A and B are shown apart, each in its own frame.
Chain A
Amino acid sequence: MAIIELKHVHYAYGVGTSFEKQALNNISFSVDPGDFLAIVGHTGSGKSTLIRHLNGLLRPDSGQVFIHGKDLWSQMKDRRSVRFQIGLVFQYPETQLFEDTVGKDIAFGPKNMGLNEQEVKQRVQEALAFVGLDASYLERNPFRLSGGEMRRVAIAGVLAMRPSVLVLDEPTAGLDFDGRALILQQLEQFRIKSGAAIILVTHNMDDIAEHAQRVIVLHEGRMVLSGTTASVFSEADILKQCGLDVPQITRVLIKLKERGLPVRTDAITLEAAEREILKLFREGG
């Protein structure tokens, strides 16, 4: 059974004022255990609004949100417990650190779950390891860490709740290439080891090419494309209309094809593209 299922979700900000803005329009999709789903869209397309519906921070104007088959707003009494199952990491999560040690900050979520001290401690260490930081960080002041380290501590704070779906809003924003690759790799490891699903919100297509299995494209609050990563990237024209781009390697292949070379343009990872181009040489040579 799907962990999360959205059916015809609509949401508007500022209803009844001149600022009224339909931020989500008829959104339906579902997430199964172990999925790696990417939500992409230009700035203002409604991505952050959408993820706030997944753990009950926002209530849809119409439509339903099901968590493990139960309607979040009519069949669930304890909506707070949903927040431990669907872990949300917001944009620039490092700005939300507040404790004086890294260990205490990561423990905030597990403590709110009412776990005993032993369990909390174990989860904090486990989460810290997932984001690639060693135990020496536990006693450090989070405000004295580098930006990248702070971000990893903040992500660990959500991982420590052992969510069955981890939702991340632009986790790589403002990081350099190595920092981005590292975080994505750690998330992928978390997904494989824990069996949790990951929903990654981004507008960087290179981020999702390597890992995402499915992609949803939002444009002005509507779902314009949805499907496997390769099938979505093959719609270069629609993506362009939505202000998005295909990954750099796919762009290279499309340009090659435009020049009349026989390459397939649905290669989205570096290895697949390499194979395609090497094939050219073999056939040509």
Chain B
Amino acid sequence: MARDLTVGQFLPGHAIMHRLDPRTKILLTFFFIIQVFLAKSTVSLCFLIILLFLFIFFARLSAGKVFRAVRPMIPVIVFTALINIFYVPGDSVLHFAFLHITKQGLFTGFTLFVRLTVLIVGCSLITYTTSLNALAAGLEQLLSPLAHLRVPVSELSMTLTITLRFLPSLSDEFEQIVDAQKSRGAFFDQGSPIRRIKSYFPVLIPLFMSAFRRAFELANAIECRCYHGGKGRTKMNTLHFAGRDIAAFLVFTALFFLTIIFNFI
């Protein structure tokens, strides 16, 4: 259980992928997503797969583990791919009652499977190599121009940072309360759906109580430190683009065009 990676878990390290600026990684992840949707031919899809392995290598992660973490999502991917197999019109290969399987359908289904897998694995890399706090800081800086449009970016980022800070505490507390109620003989995941939902009351009620208590305490603590809105707040660790970030952008641009060129081979 705890032995496998979970998507979204941060694994501290010092590989290149870890040291890139979070802003770079966020932007490049978007780049990569667009790239995945632009790749149409077999060659460019193969190219993407090779790229993915290179990224995993540069993050110093084990490819097996990274792919295994996606396993829970495979049913969804396969389902999406299957639907396409049956719905794309074209030259019939097999047909069975009202179901037609076409050549084009098989191709679309297969490429969709590859694309979704590559997409999920690619996006999971940023979470393995970037702490949530770094991600939040990067996002805040990227969104800061929106402040001119009266979007409360610094308040949003404060909220996001606080949420990220308290998620692990809440999840620890959740486990602790589950253990405590199990120790009194509670059982979960048994019986009818209504019974199951009811069986979580003894956990959810204390959890909400404690979340509210924390929220009040935190609000008091923040007020005691004279916080009034995030305007003009400075950071202890400011983000700086380094040479490697510029290099990464250049490499990605080149790869982007390569993918498009491979579409025509």
Residues of A within 8 A of B (CB): 13-18, 52, 55, 57, 80, 83-84, 87-88, 90, 93, 95-98, 108-109, 112-113, 143, 157-158, 161
**Does B11 touch A at the CB level, under 8 Å?**
yes
Report Cα–Cα, A239/B205, bound state, in Å: 40
**A112 / chain B contacts, CB cutoff of 8 Å:** 184-187
Q: By the criterion CB–CB under 8 Å, are B183 and A88 in contact?
A: yes
User: Contact check: which of A16, A87, A98 meets B183 at CB < 8 Å?
Assistant: A87
Q: List 21 A-B contacts (CB under 8 A).
A: A15-B3, A55-B183, A57-B182, A57-B183, A80-B185, A83-B185, A84-B185, A90-B183, A93-B180, A95-B173, A95-B177, A96-B202, A98-B201, A98-B203, A98-B206, A108-B181, A108-B184, A109-B184, A113-B185, A158-B183, A161-B185
Total number of residue pairs linking A and B with CB closer than 8 Å = 67
Q: 1/0 per residue B209-224: CB within 8 Å of A?
A: 1100000000000000
Report Cα–Cα, A161/B210, bound state, in Å: 26
* B164 nearest CB across to chain A (Å): 18
Q: By the criterion CB–CB under 8 Å, are A108 and B179 in contact?
A: no
Q: By the criterion CB–CB under 8 Å, are A95 and B183 in contact?
A: no
**B201 / chain A contacts, CB cutoff of 8 Å:** 98
* B14 nearest CB across to chain A (Å): 11
**Does B149 touch A at the CB level, under 8 Å?**
no
**Dominant SS at the B interface?**
helix
Q: By the criterion CB–CB under 8 Å, are B12 and A18 in contact?
A: yes
Q: By the criterion CB–CB under 8 Å, are A83 and B182 in contact?
A: yes
**Does B163 touch A at the CB level, under 8 Å?**
no
Q: By the criterion CB–CB under 8 Å, are B205 and A98 in contact?
A: yes
Q: 1/0 per residue B170-196: CB within 8 Å of A?
A: 000100110111111111000000000
**Does B13 touch A at the CB level, under 8 Å?**
yes
- Chain B, Cβ-Cβ closest to A12: B2
Say whether, besides A95-B206, A95-B209, A157 and B176 are in contact (CB < 8 Å): no
**A158 / chain B contacts, CB cutoff of 8 Å:** 183-184
Which B residues, 8 to 45, have Cβ-Cβ distances below 8 Å to chain A? 9, 11-13
**A93 / chain B contacts, CB cutoff of 8 Å:** 180
* A273 nearest CB across to chain B (Å): 37
Report Cα–Cα, A280/B115, bound state, in Å: 85
Residues of B within 8 A of A (CB): 2-5, 9, 11-13, 173, 176-177, 179-187, 201-203, 205-206, 209-210
Q: By the criterion CB–CB under 8 Å, are A97 and B206 in contact?
A: yes
A17, A87, A113, A157: most-surrounded residue (chain B CB, <10 A): A17
Report Cα–Cα, A97/B208, bound state, in Å: 12
Q: By the criterion CB–CB under 8 Å, are A15 and B184 in contact?
A: no
**B13 / chain A contacts, CB cutoff of 8 Å:** 18
| A-B contacts besides A17-B5, A18-B12, A157-B184, 12 pairs, CB < 8 Å | A13-B2, A14-B2, A15-B2, A16-B4, A17-B9, A95-B206, A96-B181, A98-B201, A98-B202, A98-B205, A108-B181, A112-B186
B5, B205, B210: most-surrounded residue (chain A CB, <10 A): B205
**B173 / chain A contacts, CB cutoff of 8 Å:** 95
Q: By the criterion CB–CB under 8 Å, are B185 and A109 in contact?
A: yes
Q: By the criterion CB–CB under 8 Å, are A90 and B184 in contact?
A: no
Report Cα–Cα, A94/B203, bound state, in Å: 13
**B177 / chain A contacts, CB cutoff of 8 Å:** 95-96
A57, A96, A143: most-surrounded residue (chain B CB, <10 A): A96
**B179 / chain A contacts, CB cutoff of 8 Å:** 52, 57, 88, 90
* A281 nearest CB across to chain B (Å): 50
Q: By the criterion CB–CB under 8 Å, are A90 and B206 in contact?
A: no
Report Cα–Cα, A48/B236, bound state, in Å: 35
Q: By the criterion CB–CB under 8 Å, are A96 and B206 in contact?
A: yes
Report Cα–Cα, A246/B4, bound state, in Å: 42
- Chain B, Cβ-Cβ closest to A90: B180
Q: By the criterion CB–CB under 8 Å, are B187 and A80 in contact?
A: yes
Report Cα–Cα, A52/B175, bound state, in Å: 12
**A14 / chain B contacts, CB cutoff of 8 Å:** 2
Q: By the criterion CB–CB under 8 Å, are A16 and B182 in contact?
A: no
B9, B182, B185, B201: most-surrounded residue (chain A CB, <10 A): B185
**B3 / chain A contacts, CB cutoff of 8 Å:** 15-16
- Chain B, Cβ-Cβ closest to A97: B206
**A143 / chain B contacts, CB cutoff of 8 Å:** 209
